[in-house]
């Protein structure tokens, strides 16, 4: 397709492969860990790992700032600028790494008292927390090298290390548990393999850059202020993103009830299928936009945003539509009829995901261009509005009210505020943007939607759910393949097909 980033096919393939491997690893190894560590031991393990999510916020958005800086420097051929950005990042991120170490060690000291652990697990829990804290102290500055791979758009190399870590962790856990090891041994294996992954990313980055030396010569003090002025907005965005995606279950538990929070959590997991399908196909538009902005190629930047938007909606559209139409039978098959109240929640959350897909690529492009404050403020506003609406509507409507609050907040933030401002900043006429999206997706929606509505009453059982989902999603994608491709893209597809016909004929013969 026109307007695609460099190595796009390789990036998408390796990213989806990573998602699949990590998902399979989670499904396969979770029962192994539960059985090997025991329910309480696994609970300690899960709580300790949650440290990673929150302590990683201590990098204050600096790592993403460096991705943009490295991509921009590489875009104009400034290899010395690349080296200065890398070295400065490692040195600066050593500070939050130290903070993460201190915070982790503090938590390790009070962990047993916080969760009222018995003496047998108390010491193990403290050791686990301490090991994770040490690993974070190393990983936060080392994340610079993974960011460098992203900036060079070598997501294939980054994903190679992530897959290797996932597979080696699974093997390590299995061997340790079979040999009678416990919580500490599992933690040690995890930390060692994780740090080995960081080392691999460093070696890959050094090979790409040509020479990486973490010496005073390449440390540029003047970059700190420039990076910090941008990273604070990335940090605000990351914080708001956590609130948007994680606060709803807590609101349900406080406003509606704890049992209902479990129902909402099930619906949320199902609706996340669409979100997870989009990320691997769009993540590379951030460094690509930084490169195009550095070379002032505005025309290609606009083309990239339009193409990326069609891709994001081409992935989210069929999944969100299928979830919306088959939410009830899918819930019944997955967790049983007692969770039927989750179905309308799935519909509303899938709708919110589809709305966000409309602006996802454009917001990544703005961040790559250096316009970080606007996306951060909008997401922060969405988080506040989401919380207020979810509490208010949850009190009167229950589960559906909380989900409706999330949907209305997304519509307000993305369609009313983000879309017109985004188009203005990118130099894309709003009418042209909407027309491009409409031509690509409305015909597919107009056919696949009624088809799903006709099939839904007859859907019962897992086989029927899978067949109906395939029919709805497949119909959407077939129509989109015609309406969602421009003339040049259709010519490319025809050329590919014409090249393959002789090969197919000779093979048949």
What single string gives the DSSP state of each residue in 318-350? HHHHHHHHHHHHHHHHHH-GGGTTHHHHHHHHH
Reference 149, options 300, 15, 16, 24; nearest CA is 15
197 and 319 within one domain: no
Q: Is 80 exceeded by the pLDDT of residue 54?
A: no
262 and 186 within one domain: no
Q: Is 50 exceeded by the pLDDT of residue 504?
A: no
240 and 209 within one domain: no
Give the range among 343-352, 475-484, 489-498 with minimum mean pLDDT.
489-498
Q: Which residue has the higher pLDDT, 134 or 40?
A: 134
Q: Give, as one character, the DSSP assignment of residue 212.
A: -
pLDDT band of 258, cuts 50, 70, 90: low
Burial of 256 (0-12, 13-18, 19+ CB in 10 A): buried
Classify residue 463: in a domain, yes or no: no
272 and 182 within one domain: no
Per-residue pLDDT, 165: 93
305 and 199 within one domain: no
Cβ atoms within 10 A of the Cβ of 203, count? 14
Written as six digits, the tokens of 19 are 């998602």
Most confident among 257-261, 393-397, 481-485 (mean pLDDT): 393-397
Per-residue pLDDT, 265: 77
Per-residue pLDDT, 43: 76
Q: What is the pTM of this model?
A: 0.75
258 and 204 within one domain: no
Give the range among 257-261, 316-320, 332-336 with minimum mean pLDDT.
257-261
Q: Give the up-direction half-sphere exposure of residue 166: CA atoms within 13 A in the CB hemisphere.
A: 20
198 and 262 within one domain: no
Classify residue 481: in a domain, yes or no: no
Task: Taking residues 122-150, report their average pLDDT.
Answer: 87
Classify residue 110: in a domain, yes or no: yes
For Cα atoms 165, 205, 301, give the angle at the middle one, nearest 5 degrees. 105
Classify residue 477: in a domain, yes or no: no
- What is the domain count for the chain? 2
86 and 175 within one domain: yes
Classify residue 486: in a domain, yes or no: no
| Residue 179 backbone dihedrals phi, psi, to 5 degrees | -85, 5
In whole angstroms, what is the distance from residue 58 CA to residue 109 CA? 20
Instruction: Tell me which of 442, 473, 488 is where a domain ends.
Output: 442
Instruction: Tell me which of 442, 473, 494 is where a domain ends.
Output: 442
253 and 117 within one domain: no
Classify residue 76: in a domain, yes or no: yes
Classify residue 490: in a domain, yes or no: no
One-letter-per-residue 3-state SS of 37-58: HHHHHHHHHHHHHHHHHHHHHH
Reference 89, options 116, 111, 115, 59; nearest CA is 59
Residues with Cβ within 8 Å of 366's Cβ and at least 6 positions away in sequence, in order, are 289, 372, 374, 375, 422, 425, 426
235 and 214 within one domain: no
In whole angstroms, what is the distance from residue 78 CA to residue 72 CA? 9
333 and 191 within one domain: no
Q: Is 90 exceeded by the pLDDT of residue 507?
A: no
Per-residue pLDDT, 410: 92
pLDDT band of 3, cuts 50, 70, 90: low
Catalogue the E-assigned strands of 228-362. Answer: none
Classify residue 469: in a domain, yes or no: no
Instruction: Tell me which of 426, 442, 458 is where a domain ends.
Output: 442
Written as six digits, the tokens of 43 are 């609970």
61 and 195 within one domain: yes
DSSP state string for 54-76: HHGGGGTTHHHHHHHHHHHHHHT
- CB of 29 within 8 A of CB of 171? no
Q: Which domain holds residue 142?
A: 1-220
């Amino acid at each position: 397709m026109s307007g695609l980033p460099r190595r796009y096919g390789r990036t998408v393939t390796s990213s989806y492969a990573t998602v699949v491997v990590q998902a399979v690893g989670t499904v396969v190894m979770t029962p192994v860990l539960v059985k090997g560590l025991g329910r309480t031991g696994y609970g300690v393990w899960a709580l300790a790992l949650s440290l990673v999510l929150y302590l990683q916020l201590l990098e204050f958005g600096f790592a993403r700032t460096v991705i943009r800086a490295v991509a921009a420097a590489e875009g104009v051929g400034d290899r010395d600028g690349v080296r200065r950005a890398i070295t400065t990042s490692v040195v600066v991120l050593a500070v939050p790494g130290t903070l993460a170490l201190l915070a982790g060690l503090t938590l390790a000291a009070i962990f047993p008292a916080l969760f009222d652990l018995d003496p047998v697990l108390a010491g193990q829990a403290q050791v686990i927390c301490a090991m994770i804290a040490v690993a974070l102290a190393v990983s936060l500055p080392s994340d610079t090298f993974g960011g460098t791979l992203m900036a060079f758009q070598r997501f294939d190399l980054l994903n190679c290390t992530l897959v290797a870590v996932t597979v080696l962790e699974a093997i390590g856990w299995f061997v340790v548990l079979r040999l009678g090891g416990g919580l500490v041994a599992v933690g040690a294996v995890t930390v060692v393999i994780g740090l080995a992954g960081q080392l691999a990313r460093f070696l890959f980055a050094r090979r790409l850059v040509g020479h990486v030396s973490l010496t005073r010569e390449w440390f540029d003090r003047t970059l700190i202020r420039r990076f910090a002025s941008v990273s604070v907005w990335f940090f605000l965005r990351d914080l708001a993103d956590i609130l948007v995606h994680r606060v709803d279950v807590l609101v349900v538990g406080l406003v509606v009830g704890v049992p209902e929070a479990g129902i909402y959590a099930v619906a949320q997991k199902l609706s996340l299928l669409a979100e997870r399908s989009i990320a691997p196909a769009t993540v590379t538009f951030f460094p690509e936009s930084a490169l195009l902005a550095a070379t002032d190629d505005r025309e290609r930047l606009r083309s990239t945003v339009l193409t990326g938007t069609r891709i994001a909606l081409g992935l989210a559209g069929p999944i969100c539509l299928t979830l919306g139409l088959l939410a009830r039978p899918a819930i019944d098959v997955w967790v049983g009829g007692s969770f039927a109240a989750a179905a309308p929640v799935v519909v509303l959350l899938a709708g919110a995901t589809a709305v966000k897909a409309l602006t996802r690529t454009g917001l990544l492009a703005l961040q790559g261009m250096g316009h970080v404050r606007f996306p951060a403020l909008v997401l922060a506003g969405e988080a506040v509005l989401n919380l207020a609406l979810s509490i208010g509507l949850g009190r009167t409507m229950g589960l559906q009210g909380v989900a409706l609050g999330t949907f209305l907040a997304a519509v307000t933030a993305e369609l009313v505020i983000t879309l017109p401002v985004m188009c203005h900043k990118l130099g894309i006429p709003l009418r042209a943007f909407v027309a491009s999206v409409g031509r690509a997706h409305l015909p597919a929606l107009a056919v696949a939607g009624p088809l799903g509505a006709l099939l839904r009453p007859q859907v019962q059982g897992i086989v029927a759910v899978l067949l109906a989902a395939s029919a709805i999603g497949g119909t959407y994608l077939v129509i989109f393949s015609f309406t969602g491709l421009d003339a040049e893209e259709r010519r490319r597809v025809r050329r590919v097909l014409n090249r393959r016909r002789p090969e197919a004929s000779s093979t048949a013969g």
